[in-house]
Structure 1
C-alpha cells in the first residue's frame, strides 16, 4: 500500500469502525448495567462554543445550548475517532495498515485517554481526569475501558478492512 488516497480511505474506515465499537460498548453498558457515559450533545455544545471562542466552562451542562448540538457532537465524536486512527500510519507507517498487529492500536487507544483527561474534561468543567465529579475513579475506569475498546476496535476494523478490500 503506497497510494496516499488508499491510506486516507483505509484510515477513515478504521477510525469509523473503532468509533462504532466504542458506541456499541456504550450502548451495551447503558442497556445492561444502566451506566451512562458522555452525552454527545454536551460534546457538541463544547465544540460549538469552541467555534464561538469559548473553550473553558464552569460546568458545560449549565452552558447555553447550541442549535444542533447533538448532531455536532456525533459528528465531532466520529471525526475525533478518525483523527486518532490517522496516528496509526503516522507512528507505525503504512506497513501497519498492510499487516496490522494488536499492540500498536492498544497502545494508541490508551494514549487517546490523554485528550479527555487533560483537555476535554477540564474544559467542560469536570476537572483533570474527572477530578471534580462525585466519583472520579469510576469515571476514570470507564474512560480507560472505553479507550481500550477503541484500541481493540482499531485492530478489528483494520482486520475487517483487509478482508473486504483485498
Structure 2
C-alpha cells in the first residue's frame, strides 16, 4: 500500500506543476521544458547526451510524449525519495509541509546541475540571457511540487 500511495502522491504533485504551467500558458507563456526534456531523452539512444543548446537540436518524433512520461516518472521517483529514503511511512500517516518542501529544495540539484548543463543552458542557466528569471521559475516550480506532495498526501489520508 505504501508503494501505491507514494505513486499517487508523486503523480498528484506532478499534476500540481502541470496545473501551474497550464495557468501560466493562459497568459501567453508557453513552457517548453517538457518538450526539451523529451528531446534530450530521445537523443540519448543515438549517443547524444550533451547539447550546444537543445533549442538548436532538431525536433525528434514523439519528444513531447517522451517528455511528459519522463516528467511523471521523475515526479514519482522524487516522491519515493521523500517517503522511502528520507521520512518513511510515518510521513504518510501524518504528512507535514516541511519535509515535502525540503525534498523540493533537494530536487533542485537535478535541473540546476545536470539537466540545464546537458541541455546547453549552463549550470543554473548561466548561458541564458534571462538567467535570474529562469532560475526563479525553476525554484517556484519545485516549491509547487513540494506543496503538491503535501496536498496529495493530505488528500490520501
Provide TM-score, normalisation by structure 2: 0.94
Query: Which runs of structure 2 are paired with 1:4-15 in the superposition (5 Å)?
Result: 6-15=1-10
- Which of 77, 86, 96 is the matching residue for 1:83? 77
Deviates more, 1:127-136 or 1:45-54: 45-54
Query: Which runs of structure 2 are paired with 1:67-146 in the superposition (5 Å)?
Result: 67-89=61-83, 90-146=85-141
Distance 2:53 2:42 in 1: 15
Distance 1:93 1:51 in 2: 35
Count of residue pairs brought into register by the alignment: 156
Deviation at 1:25, TM superposition (A): 0.9
- Which of 34, 39, 53 is the matching residue for 2:33? 39
Provide TM-score, normalisation by structure 1: 0.89
Deviations 1:76-115 (A, max 9, x none): 0000000101011221111111111110001111111111
Deviates more, 1:44-53 or 1:70-79: 44-53
In structure 1, runs of 5+ residues without a counterpart are 1-5
Distance 1:8 1:51 in 2: 30
Deviation at 1:39, TM superposition (A): 3.3
In structure 2, runs of 5+ residues without a counterpart are none
- Report the equivalent of 2:25: 30
